[in-house]
Structures are given as structure tokens and as C-alpha cells.
Structure 1
């Protein structure tokens, strides 16, 4: 029963988010999962590492699916390449316990997350939704 209630709550939360909030939530969740994956890898907790890296890879896949090539094809293409690169790094982290691959992913996602946060705040101030690439 508890799991059902939690799933219902998550579905409700997702349905009330707008696109900009969802993208920001994805970036924040990815950054958190990468942090947890780094910690688990560093501490030799294999199952936790695998869980966090798999979830991070799922989030990267969601970011790829969220790209809007109609809004800005150049930006969307560049982000698709970046996300694909991150996906490869996550595979290396999973297979080879590569902490530097996780660190590189974090260095890539954090500026995107911060920039998106600023964009969301600016849009909320102007009341115009940004177009996601």
C-alpha cells in the first residue's frame, strides 16, 4: 500500500510540473545520483554504485528524450552529443569503477543545472516559459 501511495504522489507531482521544472528536477537528480555513485564507488559498495549509475544513466536517457530539436536544432544537437558522451562515461564508471568518469559527468552537468536554474528564475520573473532545447 505504501509503494502505491508513493507512486501516486510521484505521478501527481510530475503532472503538476511544467517542462522547465521537470528539466531542472532531472538535472538536480542526476547531480545527486552522480554524487552518490562516486561515494559508493569510492567506498567499494558495488550494489549501491550500480544502482546509482543505472539511475543516472536513466536520467541521461530522459534528458535525451526531452530534447526539442524544433526549438533550437543546434543546441539540441550539441546537448544530444554531450548526453551521449556522459552515457559512455557512466558505462566506464560502471564497468571499471572509474571515479574520474563520474567526476567528469558532474563537471558537465553542474554548469547546465546552474544555468537552467537561472533561466527558470528569470522566466518566472518575466512569466514567460523558456523553450527547452
Structure 2
């Protein structure tokens, strides 16, 4: 699916689709390729953080908790679970470590009601999200 130069640290497209469905995504994933599934996960994560931040600032504890929990599930059950540590090598291991750190920080943001930690979590993942979107044309050409 990816040429040797673009070996993806993400594997198991079936597992990705299953994880995406488990986290309650509204978007249909039936026809989505593995690259698109990761993109959808990144987008859903970013949206959860926006919702959590707004709820936190508005004092809406229940919505904040649900949004942060969903963001953490996206990271753990989607992004991290979708990594192929065997084929992804050092990149996959580094992403796993980053995702574990972000998961811990999300818990802390929730417990401390700390917007700055949410913003840190956003800053940590946003470059990956943007890079993933940017390589879409290359990934599409590699498949076709």
C-alpha cells in the first residue's frame, strides 16, 4: 500500500476502522482507506479538545469530562492502537510514547480543570495532524 520510502507506522486498516467505530465517530468509515481513517481520528481528536476547552471555560463539567474522555479514547484506542510497531520501527515507537504522554496529560487536564494542559495536548498532536493531511496526495498516488 505504501512504497518502501513511505512505510507507514500505522497498520491493520481493519483494526483502525473498528477502533474508529468504537469511539463513536459520526462519519462513515466503510469506504475510508487507512490513511483517511487516521485523518478522521486526528480531526475528531482536535474537535474533542475544542469542545473540552469550551466546556471547561463554561464550567460544564459533564461535557468537559465526556470530551476529554473521548479524546483520550481516540489517542489510546485509535491512534496508538493503530500503530504497527513491527513495521513502523523507531517512528512508531516514538509515536507510541507521544500518545502515552498525551493520554496522561489529558487525564491531568481533566482532574485539574486546566486549559493550558489541553492546549499543550493540542500543540503536541497538531503538527502530526497537519503532516498527515499534507502527505495525503502522496499516499493516494502510492495506492493507485
- TM-score for the superposition, normalised by structure 2: 0.77
Q: Distance in 2 between matches of 1:96 and 1:11?
A: 29
Output one character per residue of 1:13-67: Cα deviation in whole Å (capped at 9) or x when no partner. Answer: 2221110000010001101101111111111110110010010011001111000
State yes or no: 1:72 paired with 2:88.
yes
CA offsets, 1:55-109, max 9 Å, x none?
A: 0011001111000113321001000000000001110111110111100010011
- Looking at secondary structure, tell me which structure has more helix per residue: 1
Aligned partner of 2:139 in structure 1 is 123
* Runs of 4+ residues over 2 Å off in structure 1: 10-13, 121-124
Structure 2 contact 45–74 (Cα < 8 Å) conserved: yes
In the TM superposition, what is the alpha-carbon distance from 1:11 to its structure 2 partner?
9.1
Gap regions ≥5 residues in structure 2: 1-20
Query: Which deviates more, 62-71 or 107-116?
Result: 62-71
Superposition RMSD in Å: 1.8
TM-fit CA distance, 1:12: 8.9
Which structure has the larger Rg? 1
